[in-house]
Amino acid sequence: MLRRLSPAAILASVLSLAACGSSSDAPASGSGASKSLTVFAAASLTESFTELGKQFESTHSGTKVTFNFGSSATLAQQITQGAPADVFAAASPATMKTVTDAGLASSPTVFVKNTLQIAVPEDNPAKIESLKDLIDPKVKVALCAEQVPCGAAAIKALDAAGLKVTPVTLEQDVKATLTKVELGEVDAALVYRTDVIAAKGKVKGIDFPEAAQAVNDYPIAALGKAPEPGLAKQFVDLVLSQQGRDVLTKAGFRAP
Amino acid sequence: MSLHAHLVVERPAFRLDVEFHAAAGEVVAVLGPNGAGKTTALRALAGLVPLSGGHIELDGAQVHHLPPERRGIGVVFQDYLLFPHLSALDNVAFGPRCRGLGKAEARRVAAELLDRVGLADHAHVRPGRLSGGQAQRVALARALAVRPRLLLLDEPLAALDAHTRLEIRAELRRHLAGFDGAAVLVTHDPLDAMVLAHRLVVVENGSVVQTGTPGEVARHPRTDYVARLVGLNLYRGEADGNRVTVGDVVFSSAERLTGPAFVAFPPSAVALYRSRPDGSPRNLWRAVIDGIERHGDNVRVHLRGPITLAADVTPSAAADLDLTPGREVWAAVKATETHAYPA
Amino acid sequence: MTGPARGRGPRARLPWPLLVPAVAGLAFLVLPPAGLLVRAPWRTLPQRLAEPRVLEALRLSLVTATIATAVCLLLGVPLAWLLARTTLPGRRLLRALITVPLVLPPVVGGVALLLVLGRRGLVGQWLYDAFGVSLPFTTAGVVCAEAFVAMPFLVIAVEGALRAADQRYEEAAATLGASRWTVFRRVTLPMVAPGVLAGAVLCWARALGEFGATITFAGNFPGRTQTMPLAVYLALETDPDAAIVLSLALLAVSVIVLAALRDRWVGTA
């Protein structure tokens, strides 16, 4: 029994307990919904995929779409440990690769890309205008940890600009990074455009040219062992369609 | 160093209202049954229970508004309450330290006191390893170490076994004799009270029912409780000359009185007969045996009839009389051993 | 049929309605850590452990948990005393409030700390303006977050010990002339010392494992605010083996410290 428990399985279950920020929607209560589609998607897709899920349900009566939003790496681990998912949408090709390497999905498609922006509090207390303003030691900067995609992207962008920034914190995910900006605890952070748009009214986004050097591709794939392969394919199609693109663009994503 | 106390403590369903005094060098025993309010009175003196009324005066100064730590009153608690984490020496030195003495000086005072109670060689022992008698002596030394104006002792011997008790009682008497302040002792044991105290204050149901020297109280009990404590039969009746009428029974006594009076006599003054004895018919009535028990070397017979009483007979007399519960006997009391005094 | 065996016979029969769940409970608690041991990359363990960032995180964890425990003792013991020994109005409400950090998701606790002690927080704003002090993203912030989450354990343990302690000893001390402060210092505290120690150990263990409030309030920066649990969490993103190594290191150190404390002070209790 013990031998069959891989560490990743243990950790994945611990994580799913610990990850109180990323919630999976409650399963269908059974009234009318005869079919269920389970989508594992990167946390940054929360708003746009929830919207697309509603659209999908309206055109597929009797189908309930359930989402599990979370860190792409965590989701990938859950899938490789046998979590019953139909679709996986990751925030980076690397995390998708874990799933394809395990033979659980083939031919993922990049459906959007996300770029970085400088997020500053609405009143922009440190008067940030460009990336090089972040090197001032008096400016408190939050970055994502290098282990998570937004952190890796931030490093890439800063390297491309040839700037050395000393952050006060390396946050565990992009939402946590953004929270620090929203609360005014830092003067600036590098986060995704989509996150800035989702936090509209609380933070301001500033574009910078080096962001082009650190584009994040979002791949999506229907999973090989999907309990509902037909629905899975249809959902992927919806995401790739013009209709899907409209929703995603509105959320700040860019077409691939 | 004298104490004048009028203690009023109101509790739901209980009211303590007692007044007494103790002169310098005097030992007063507050005697009473369980629940009479003795311990409450002692705690009130120490400042551990607030007064609802009355006053406490030490050497003419009111102290009842002071917190316990500023009253200058030493207390020996019932189960001693020696601090378990401190050695005997540091227990005794605790008080002097609190009164501002340096550590070394406090320990010197404590060592002296421990020596006085014969425990110099136990100075570094923790209370957990002391015998009951030793703990009692440490507790006494600890209370005396603060040079109290008033010393309170709460059932100081109750936690000891019979043998140790005898020894410690005698020793305590000696220490109390050497104490120049006033001492108040709370106990439910008449023997402790009689041996240790100069004066008794008997408390029942929160009130003082009798005060006096041990001799006075023993001879002239005024309540059933005291009578039982001192081993007397006690009745309240109406006196007219040498006769005291208690219900249907008429006692003749040596004293001449008029009006309400007590009659008291020891159980040994009662003689029992199977049939009506000849001769003087006074102090004689029929009674039914209620119960029989051993009492020292004698047999104590509990009787009911016009009055309930206890009679002591020798075991041989008991055998001759064939005493069994329910049997009817004649009881007679010698007039010379019957005491009458005003109620 | 040996004597001792016969003598022990009647007591050796344990009732199965107790035994079965007890064993299940034990397995439930022991197996997950055992799983970590089984799956640990033992071969690369030494060099992984010797990495500076691991040692740094471990050192920071131990230092902050210890300081947080000291802070909890300093503030929590008097608080427990207040709850146990005074007739403060609204004491029950107070006690309920104190347990809030126990039930609050630590991440929420971290956000709450930011709202109060952050640079723009209710109190933090004033601290920042008056003294230029800002707690988030500092080691002091880590201590703050850990103390916030761990203090209820200490307060509850000490309050329980104070309630169980015989107050008559305090009265005895008062009659000997001790002020309330002296009574507390020389009688109450030594008598509840085992309870205080037990509370401090729980508090320290909780602080050592603290994650949510710390990462939310103090952020994550190696050497300054990245404690072991944070390092474990981030390692999980890319390198589960590293996460196991870090977890084992934390586990080993805490077990060693707790076992040492137990032998030293708690005795066999």
Q: What DSSP string runs through B280-294?
A: --TTEEEEEEEEEEE
Query: Residue C254, SS3?
Result: helix
Number of domains in chain B: 2
- Are B68 and B197 part of one and the same domain? yes
Topology match between the domains A2-113+217-250 and A116-213: yes
Average pLDDT for residues A141-148, to the nearest whole number?
Answer: 90
Q: What does DSSP assign to residue B31?
A: E
Q: Where are the domains of chain A?
A: 2-113+217-250, 116-213
Is the Cβ pair B69, C187 closer than 8 Å?
no
Convert B264-300 to b/e letters by CB count within 10 Å (16 or more is b). bbbbbbbbbeeeeeeeeeebbbebebeeeeeeeebbb
Model pLDDT for residues B281-293, shown as the tens digit of each residue: 578 888 999 988 8
Q: Tokens in use for C251? A: 């586990």
pLDDT number for residue A241: 94
CB B303 within 8 A of CB B288: yes
- The C-alpha atoms of residue B242 and residue B244 are separated, in whole angstroms, by 7
- Are B131 and B10 part of one and the same domain? yes
* Assigned fold of A116-213: D-Maltodextrin-Binding Protein; domain 2 (3.40.190)
pTM of the model: 0.78
- Are B248 and B213 part of one and the same domain? no
pLDDT number for residue C265: 59
pLDDT number for residue A8: 44
Tell me the angle at which helices C228-238 and C240-261 cross, rounded to the nearest 10 degrees: 160
Average pLDDT for residues C29-36, to the nearest whole number?
Answer: 90
Enumerate residues 6+ apart whose C-beta is below 8 A from B104.
none
Average pLDDT for residues A223-239, to the nearest whole number?
Answer: 91
Average pLDDT for residues B59-86, to the nearest whole number?
Answer: 93
Contacts of B48 in chain C (CB under 8 A): 171, 174-175
Q: Using a CB cutoff of 8 Å and minimum separation of 24, what contacts does A3-7 make? A: A3/C38, A5/C35, A5/C39, A6/A81, A6/C39, A7/C35, A7/C36, A7/C39, A7/C240, A7/C241, A7/C244
Contacts of B146 in chain C (CB under 8 A): 176-177
Average pLDDT for residues B301-310, to the nearest whole number?
Answer: 89
Of C34, C120, C240, the CB nearest to A11: C240
Q: Check which CATH number belongs to the domain holding B237 and give it.
A: 2.40.50.100
pLDDT number for residue C164: 93
A141 to chain C: closest CA residue: C137
B46 has pLDDT over 50: yes
pLDDT number for residue B281: 58
A–C touching, 3+ CB–CB pairs within 8 Å? yes
pLDDT number for residue C84: 92
- Cβ of A126 under 8 Å from any chain C Cβ? no
pLDDT number for residue A10: 41
Model pLDDT for residues B235-257, shown as the tens digit of each residue: 988 988 888 888 888 888 878 88
CB B192 within 8 A of CB B35: no
Q: Among C166, C169, C175, which would you mutate to test the B interface (most chain B Cβ atoms within 10 Å of its Cβ)?
A: C175
Q: Would the ipTM clear 0.85, i.e. be above it?
A: no
- The C-alpha atoms of residue B101 and residue B117 are separated, in whole angstroms, by 21
Of C169, C176, C191, the CB nearest to B98: C176
Comparing B323 with A177, the larger pLDDT belongs to A177
Model pLDDT for residues C123-178, shown as the tens digit of each residue: 999 988 888 888 999 999 999 999 999 999 999 999 999 999 999 999 999 999 99
Contacts of B75 in chain C (CB under 8 A): 172, 175
Q: Where are the domains of chain C?
A: 64-226
Average pLDDT for residues B194-198, to the nearest whole number?
Answer: 91
- Cβ of A167 under 8 Å from any chain C Cβ? yes
pLDDT number for residue A11: 41
Model pLDDT for residues A12-45, shown as the tens digit of each residue: 444 444 443 333 444 434 444 478 999 999 988 9
CATH architecture of the domain with residue range A2-113+217-250: 3-Layer(aba) Sandwich (3.40)
Is the Cβ pair C169, B83 closer than 8 Å?
yes
* Assigned fold of C64-226: MetI-like fold (1.10.3720)
Q: Tokens in use for B227? A: 């009578």
Average pLDDT for residues B75-87, to the nearest whole number?
Answer: 94
Contacts of B81 in chain C (CB under 8 A): 166, 168-169, 171-172
Q: Among C176, C180, C185, C197, which would you mutate to test the B interface (most chain B Cβ atoms within 10 Å of its Cβ)?
A: C176
Q: Tokens in use for A10? A: 């243990």
For residue A143, name the pLDDT band (cuts at 50, 70, 90): very high
Comparing C111 with C7, the larger pLDDT belongs to C111
| Residue B315 domain boundaries | 232-342
B57 has pLDDT over 80: yes
pLDDT number for residue A7: 44
Q: Check which CATH number belongs to the domain holding B78 and give it.
A: 3.40.50.300
* CA distance, residue A45 to nearest chain C CA (Å): 18
Comparing B168 with A29, the larger pLDDT belongs to B168
Comparing C74 with C256, the larger pLDDT belongs to C74
CB A232 within 8 A of CB A37: yes
- Are B219 and B238 part of one and the same domain? no
